[in-house]
Amino acid sequence: EQNPHHPCQIELYRDFAPYSFLFKERYPDGSLGVVGGLVYHGCPDRSCCFIDRPFHGWATHT
């Protein structure tokens, strides 16, 4: 993030679900901000995430 008053880095990680990834917002002091994932819900849905209604596409999970 380019905020000079509160800079952070976004770390990306592999997820086991196809076409999905995890992310962490990390600050210079080592603390974390938002942690979550961008998860693809396909057919069949192999994400193992809870969703209210089945759909095809990406959803954020934090």
Single out the residue of 8, 4, 12, 1 nearest to residue 29, CA to CA.
Answer: 8
Does this model's pTM top 0.85? My answer is: no
Tally of structural domains, the chain: 1
Instruction: For tokens 């998860």, name the residue.
Output: 39
pLDDT digits (tens, 9 = 90+) for 22-53: 999 999 999 999 999 999 999 888 888 888 88
Residue 40 forms part of a structural domain? yes
What is the predicted pLDDT for the residue at 33? 93
Residue 29 forms part of a structural domain? yes
Host domain of residue 56: 9-61
Residue 56 forms part of a structural domain? yes
Residue 52 forms part of a structural domain? yes
Q: How many CA atoms lie within 13 A of 22 on its CB side?
A: 10
CA dihedral (49, 42, 55, 24) positive or negative: positive
Residue 22 forms part of a structural domain? yes
Residue 39 forms part of a structural domain? yes
Residue 3 forms part of a structural domain? no
Residue 1 forms part of a structural domain? no
